[in-house]
Structures are given as C-alpha cells and as structure tokens.
C-alpha cells in the first residue's frame, strides 16, 4: 500500500508563492502515482493536521525563512515522523550565508571574498573598505534569504541607496562581484547528479529570472566544460554538501570566471516547480519527476 504523505507548503517567507507551487506540483505527481496526499500550511493547525492525518512521511516544500533555516525542522523533530531534506543544524548552517561561507573557506572551497555590514560604519569608511578589500561593483545580499530575494549588484553611486532600502535586515553581506558563467550543480545523497548552465537575459540570475517564465533564462544541459573542469565543480559541490552535513538533494550555485569556480551558496531545499533546476538535471540523467520525489521520500526515512 502506498504511503500517506503530508506536504507542508506556503509559509510566511518572501518565497511563499514558489513554495505553494512546489507543494502543489509534488502533490499532483504523488496523487497520480497512488499516494494519499494532504497539503498543509505551517500555521496553528499544523500539529492538528499531523495528528489527524498520521502521515508516514512529511514532505517539506517550504522555501526561505522559517522553512529551510532549521525553524520548521525543530518543530517537526517533536513528532518523530521522517521529514524530507536536511535536519535542524544543517539547514540552519546552509541558510546562513556568513556561516556557510566560513565553512567553504575552512575546507578550501573557493568562494567570493566578502564581509558583513551592520549599518554601523560611516558611508565614506564603508566605500574605502570596499575599494581596499573587494573593489566595485559588489553584491549586496541578506544573510538568510533564498531565491536571490533582495540581492543587488551595486556600484559606488547606488550602494548607499540600496543598503537603505534593505535596512530591515540589520546585517547584510557585501560580497565581491564575480562575472562569468552561471553553473548550478545538484547532489543527490552520495551521488553527484549533474550540472546545468544558465544564461539569464537579465543582469544576473535574480528572483525574476528564476521564477518568471517571461524572463527567458536559457537553460543549457549538458554544460560545455572540459571533463576535468566538470569533475572539479562536481567535487566542490559534493564537498560542500558533505562538510555541512546536508541530506537529500541540494543545489549549489557557482560562477565560473577566469578558469576558476566560485561557490556562491548551497540550497538545501531546491525548488520542485516546472522552472526548477534539480528536476531538469534529474530528467536529463534519466530520473523522472516521480522517481526523484520518491527518492527524496525514501531518503527522509534514513534521517539520523
């Protein structure tokens, strides 16, 4: 008999709509294949829904804050029901760009230079620091958002205005801007699943390029890289996945510039929508959408 799967989607992060899309598409695929499925929000009814529905496995389809930063994982641990993707600590580390980058550096995984900014430095001093440590342009990003929410490429002219517009974050990352090619790598447990290259028509692969089909980002698979370079980027993604202790499927975002790969971040809960990259990589490798979902569910049952 097929298992009962509770899907948690929606939530309160800025990625709510993507999460709803992921949850619905996973639900549709599971229902087509004979599973009993219920979708729930991570709200005050969550505990009641879990106790009433009695799922065999919980599929965490949340994206962004409260969904992939260890928060919902902490709540789910109480129920002693297997849930998908990474656990509490691993999710928290991967979502925090500052901590995860320190782990990359410690493990000799190349990543753009950066420092964090807490709005406590004078404008002139900040610009001097950037010119000395990073050079313009720079990338400004929140420490705990996904899907390139509120990520900006800044020059001297628009830096202060941009920082003022995202002051609600209290602390942000200012990172060296790396041009070049956008390469994304999927890891599936102990398997180096594959890679895809993105050619956004926009300035970079931002939120709109990721989720708006009218943005017309070109997806290239297989990626045109020499074998040694492909092995290198695969190994870097695998090492990041393992060093953080991730479980299930992850997607690592790289830039390839001047013959070097730079790991930007690792995503512990990649999207499962029609425009999502991991299902596309899996399909190219002969793994259908339902087989990918079933593998994620099976992997959840092995969580330590």
211 is catalytic: yes
Catalytic residue of the set 176, 253, 280, 299: 253
194 is catalytic: no
d(C-alpha 267, C-alpha 17), whole Å: 17
Catalytic residue of the set 60, 148, 251, 299: 251
13 is catalytic: no
Q: What is the DSSP letter of 192?
A: E
Catalytic residue of the set 23, 267, 276, 280: 267
Catalytic residue of the set 9, 92, 147, 148: 147
Catalytic residue of the set 248, 271, 276, 280: 271
DSSP letters for 219-286: EESS----HHHHHHHHHHHHHHHHHHT--SEEEEEEEEETTEEEEEEEESS---STT-HHHHHHHHTT
What contacts 261, CB < 8 A, 6 or more positions away? Answer: 110, 183, 229, 232, 233, 236, 254, 255
CA distances from 127 to 22, 97, 134 (A): 40, 22, 10
267 is catalytic: yes
253 is catalytic: yes
294 is catalytic: no
Catalytic residue of the set 11, 15, 117, 144: 15
Catalytic residue of the set 69, 145, 206, 265: 265
Catalytic residue of the set 35, 83, 152, 211: 211
Asked whether 4 and 35 are in contact (CB, 8 A), the reply is yes
Q: Which residues are catalytic?
A: 15, 147, 211, 251, 253, 265, 267, 271
């Amino acid at each position: 008999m097929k298992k009962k799967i509770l899907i948690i989607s929606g939530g309160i992060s800025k990625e709510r709509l993507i999460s709803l899309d992921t949850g619905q598409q996973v639900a549709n695929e599971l229902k087509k294949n004979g599973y009993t499925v219920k979708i729930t929000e991570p709200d005050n009814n969550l505990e009641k829904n879990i106790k009433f529905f009695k799922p065999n496995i919980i599929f965490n389809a949340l994206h962004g804050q409260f969904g992939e930063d260890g928060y919902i994982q902490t709540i789910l641990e109480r129920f002693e029901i297997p849930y998908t993707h990474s656990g509490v600590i691993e999710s928290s580390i991967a979502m925090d760009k500052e901590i995860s980058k320190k782990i990359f550096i410690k493990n000799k995984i190349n990543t753009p230079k950066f420092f964090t900014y807490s709005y406590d430095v004078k404008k002139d001093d900040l610009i001097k620091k950037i010119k000395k440590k990073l050079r313009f342009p720079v990338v400004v990003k929140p420490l705990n958002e996904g899907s390139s929410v509120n990520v900006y490429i800044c020059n001297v002219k628009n830096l202060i205005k941009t920082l003022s517009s995202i002051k609600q974050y209290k602390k942000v990352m200012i990172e060296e801007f790396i041009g070049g090619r956008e390469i994304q790598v999927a890891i599936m447990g102990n398997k180096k699943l594959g890679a895809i290259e993105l050619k956004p028509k926009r300035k970079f692969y931002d939120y709109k390029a990721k989720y708006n089909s009218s943005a017309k980002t070109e997806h290239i698979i297989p990626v045109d890289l020499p074998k040694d370079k492909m092995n290198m980027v695969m190994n870097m993604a695998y090492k990041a996945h393992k060093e953080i202790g991730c479980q299930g499927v992850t997607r690592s975002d790289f830039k390839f510039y001047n013959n070097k790969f730079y790991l930007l971040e690792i995503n512990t809960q990649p999207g499962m929508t029609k425009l999502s990259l991991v299902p596309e990589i899996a399909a190219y490798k002969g793994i259908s959408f339902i087989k990918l979902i079933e593998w994620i569910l099976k992997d959840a049952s092995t969580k330590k």
